[in-house]
Chain A
Amino acid sequence: MKIMNCPLNGPRNISEFVWGGEVKPMPDETKLSDREWAEYVFLENNTAGVVREWWCHVPTSYWFIAERNTITDEIVKTYPASEVFKSRVDFAGAKP
């Protein structure tokens, strides 16, 4: 059983977590063609190597980010999502 070091709860068995897949920041949909949008929705890098991923600690429903090597399964580091998503996101037309 792997150990995942949760930024909130510390090292835990990885069975306490769910995998959220690769961090794939959403592009500005107003600037994409239909096909480009479909590519964003469906295509995966599926990288063999170190990947930045979403993980959620189930007992606390806490989402964070882990950098994991998908060949060795080594978890390189983990940190709060706020270190990547630093500021409020608004969409054109939406009032803040």
Chain B
Amino acid sequence: MTAEMNWGGTNRLPNRGALIDRSRPVTFSFEGSLVEGFEGDTIASALCANGQWMISRSFKYHRPRGVLTMIGQDANTLVQIGDEPNCLADKRRIAPGLVVEGQNYFGSFDSDAGRFVEWVSKFLPVGFYYKTFHEKRSSWRFWEPIVRAMAGLGKIDPHAHHGYFDKQYLFADVAVIGGGPAGLAAAAEAAKAGGEVLLIDENPKLGGCLNYARFDESGEAACKADGELLNAVKAAGNIRVMSDAVVTGLFADNWIPVVRGNRFYKLRAKAIVVATGSIEQPAVFRNNDLPGIMLGSAAQRLIHLYGVRPGKRAVILTANDDGYAQAIDLLKIGSAVATVVDLRADPPQTALSKAVARAGITVHAGSAIAEAYHHGNKEHVVGVAVAPVAGEGQLSDPTASYECDLVLMSVGYSPAAHLLLQAGAKFAYSTASHMFEPREIPAGLYAAGSVAGQFNLDQVAAGGRRAGWAAARHAGGTVGAEPAEVSDPGAAQQTHPWPIFPHAKGGEFVDFDEDLKYDDLINGIADGFDNVELLKRYSTVGMGPSQGKHSAVAAVRIVARETGRDLAALTVTTQRPPYTPEKFGHLAGRIFDPERRTAMHHRHLELGAQMMPAGIWWRPAYYGPKAEREKAIREEVNAVRNDVALIDVSTLGGLDVRGPDAAEFLNRMYTFTYAKLAVGKSRYVLMTDQAGVITDDGVACRFSEEHFYVTATTSGVDAVYRSMLQWNAQWRLDVDVANVTAAYAGVNIAGPKSRQVLQRLCQDIDLSAEAFPYLGVREGTVAGIPARLLRVGFVGELGYEIHVPYGYGEALWDAVVEAGQPEGIRPFGVEAQRVLRLEKGHIIVSQDTDGLTNAWEADMPWALAKTKPFFVGGRSTQIMAKMPLLRKLVGFTLDDPALPCPEECHLVIKGGEIVGRVTSAVNSPSLGKVVGMAYVHPADAAPDSKIQIKIDGGRMIEGRVVKLPFYDPEGKRQEM
């Protein structure tokens, strides 16, 4: 052998391996030792090439496991790669320096301490954990950590951080899923209609089984078909091919996730051809899980895709022609075939079976493998016993045994129907083919190839063409004559009805993922879980990483027989997305999380503001280091009370309500009345929902007969706007509502000196108390910027809210700060504003109200119009007026200066019962005492009533109810 031959492993075959590039050697490590492979190898193929057959440890018994499918449909090859757990070694391609480790073992991979579980396995029947460990409450406390420690497969790296994943939308007229013969034919045919065709295949090379399966002795049939079909696809100009791309689901209206590399595609197609093929099914016999025992198709993949010899001496268990094809494959690479064991009593004479006979290979017809043998460590199969089939699932005593290092299972298939089932297709078990077959497929979806029960190559291609044609037509393409059908005599000979052979000593695995043996299912049924779904939940069959791809059909067969039900009436358990596991990173993608910033955002940062989220906005909480929070807030409050300060109020909701019915509209949306509100004036607005619950508030400013500018809460405005539009879609009033929140930046300049500061910037508005009184609104310019000015009193001092177009916001801020220098103007944040408004007794909707607060509880009857015929929530509010009031929002203070300030949501207790809670409380800088608002029992709502507040540590303190507002009750300061 040449040096190059030697590289890449002793089991490497010459002149084979469609996917590997022998000119590109690659070295990686497995469990610490270096492994040589070629570019294009998967981890598993490279390991097999180097004689490392054990790739993982099983979930429960920690048995050695090796290659089963070589296409990632099983969980036998799960490995850990750096911070990626549970990675499929038979799908993941190797790369230089890749560090691969085994999973789920204790101590060392080769001698795993976890194996002890199997030694005691007979004491651990199906669902054993339901049956014990609960003698006392403490029993489970003792055992659970032990059971829990055994759970799981791969490991998390706590310090990992997710990499760069992103997403992209795709669009196509026809999407073809699966690049095997059916998919190729479908794509080529669909393309004839001229639409956009997208062909998606999970493998690096198109062709599917044509790349490894054998349809005749010479192998020419596959090559010929491959060539023709590929050329047709290449020839079409309108087929986009996505290889190495996995479709993981099929959702409503043909919405398809496609995973390729670190990108997650979301495809919308007008029509879809599902040509996902079928999943070869294992046989169930004692020790059928040993490394060296694999599906026939897995061996063919190793040979033809990776140039790896799966074994030197093989026993083939079959029930169809494919087993004979595999025998020929093995002979051609110089491996011995000890025997072919055929479950069928008299296998049909086919070209392939004759060829096998000519090669002098004994065929045990009507026989099965009774058990597979191993050495102590169970790390590889070393031989099998063969016994005649005596009846369904019954064997006579073994008549022969063979030494071998390879056992192939080729006893039948099950359609890879997951995508179709997810989309609502109905499949039913055919007693002719012994497979589930499509009965009902939703419009716009078409199935072709073995997923649709087609196996004969000509029939598969024809099925593909017909599906491609139908899909193109459904997608609105102009199609020619419908391609002809080809019937298939062969399908009935593909799958054996009962490749399940229990053994007196057990060890016949039905579910490799979950280490479930034949008896576990039988016993589960005997325990009363005799429905497929119940048995799944009780025994966990099909719940492992491969989601029952190899166990679901066997489970249904067993349930049907044990309960005497008709298989045709049963279905496999619900197939849920994803078809193959999707990474969190794929689903998350680039995390899009929009945020809104005011025009002055960066000014706040420059001034050292601590920002806080308000809805999706950012607002300054206070200015200064976190450590000096209290001090900063107090100074900001004092600045407003004594001098002048400014706050960014841009996030406040703003709605322009315009038109002949503007006033009538507000009358209906809010509790107050606005018809008679004078132009140039503003008035409080309170909104309730249909149930009379307070939902928002603000002020309405009337700039003209037909124009109101209405403010709303920062986080409420979008909902307010939306509900206004929905109501007027029903009322049809002549009014236009526009959400102009972002369009206007806002600054509230507040404090006794605010007028003199503003005067420097505002020439065209007379700011005098007489000309521009409290609650007045004006339009003019500030610092040369067109502005809306509002005299509102939220903080209780002389103040002006200035609203200017967003683009001018930063310039306005700069101008006000500049103009206020002589007065030492400073910015204040949301925290100070909360203190100021609390001193004035103004509520904050959603802090001082909750999801059920009505106007009576909030003590705001003054905001309810008496004379209006209607407002949203009006009737409910009237109804609640007749009912006993259960709580009332009041102001309170603490008379004992030694008492600590209660926290928001500390409870108000009366006679041991919870009657309310503190909604806001602060140690008021302006008043030098604790003031707050709380819900109290209505009996205690009168001023000077005493209330009991339960603060930290369960301590009860006494508060006294006082009339609101706390600060400047006559409102002289804000009306200056």
Contacts and interface: CB of A to CB of B under 8 A. Distances in A.
Interface string A25-46: 1100100001001100110000
Contacts of B268: 1, 3
Contacts of A26: 730
Nearest to A35: B879
Nearest to A81: B729
A63 B876 contact: no
A73 B424 CA distance: 12
Given A85-B732, A89-B731, A1 B255 contact: yes
Given A41-B876, A94-B664, A61 B869 contact: no
B870 A29 contact: yes
B651 to A, nearest CB: 19
B410 interface: no
B866 interface: no
B253 to A, nearest CB: 5
A88 B733 CA distance: 6
Most chain B CB inside 10 Å of its own CB: which residue of A2, A63, A93:
A63
Contacts of B722: 18, 56, 61, 63
B537 interface: no
A28 B745 CA distance: 42
A1 B869 contact: no
Nearest to A92: B869
A54 B726 contact: yes
Range of interface residues on A (Cβ < 8 Å): 20 to 34
Interface residues of B, number: 28
Interface string A1-35: 11100000000000000101000011001000010
Interface in B465-510: none
A37 B870 CA distance: 14
B631 interface: no
Contacts of B868: 93-94
B870 A91 contact: yes
Nearest to A62: B725
B759 interface: no
Contact of A61 (B251, B721, B731, B879): B721
B729 A1 contact: no
Contacts of A38: 876, 879
A28 B732 CA distance: 17
B733 A94 contact: no
B422 to A, nearest CB: 14
Contacts of A37: 875-876, 879
B253 A56 contact: no
B253 A1 contact: yes
Interface string B530-573: 00000000000000000000000000000000000000000000
Interface in B679-721: 690-691, 721
Interface string A77-96: 00001100111110111110
A94 B667 contact: yes
Contacts of A2: 252-253
Contacts of A89: 730-732
B739 interface: yes
Nearest to B873: A41
Given A37-B875, A37-B876, A56 B726 contact: yes
A12 to B, nearest CB: 11
A22 to B, nearest CB: 13
Contacts of A18: 722
B870 A85 contact: no
Contacts of B691: 41-42
A61 B690 CA distance: 21
A94 to B, nearest CB: 5
A2 B252 CA distance: 5
Most chain A CB inside 10 Å of its own CB: which residue of B268, B722, B729, B870:
B729
Contacts of A41: 690-691, 876
Given A1-B255, A29-B870, A94-B870, A88 B731 contact: yes
Interface string B172-197: 00000000000000000000000000
12 contacts: A1-B252, A29-B875, A34-B879, A37-B875, A37-B879, A54-B726, A63-B725, A88-B733, A89-B731, A89-B732, A92-B869, A94-B869
In order of increasing CB-CB distance, the 7 nearest A-B pairs are A93-B869, A91-B870, A81-B729, A91-B869, A1-B255, A88-B732, A89-B731
Given A88-B733, A89-B732, A91-B668, 16 more contacts: A1-B255, A25-B730, A29-B875, A34-B882, A38-B876, A42-B691, A61-B725, A73-B252, A82-B729, A85-B729, A85-B730, A87-B732, A88-B731, A89-B730, A94-B664, A95-B664
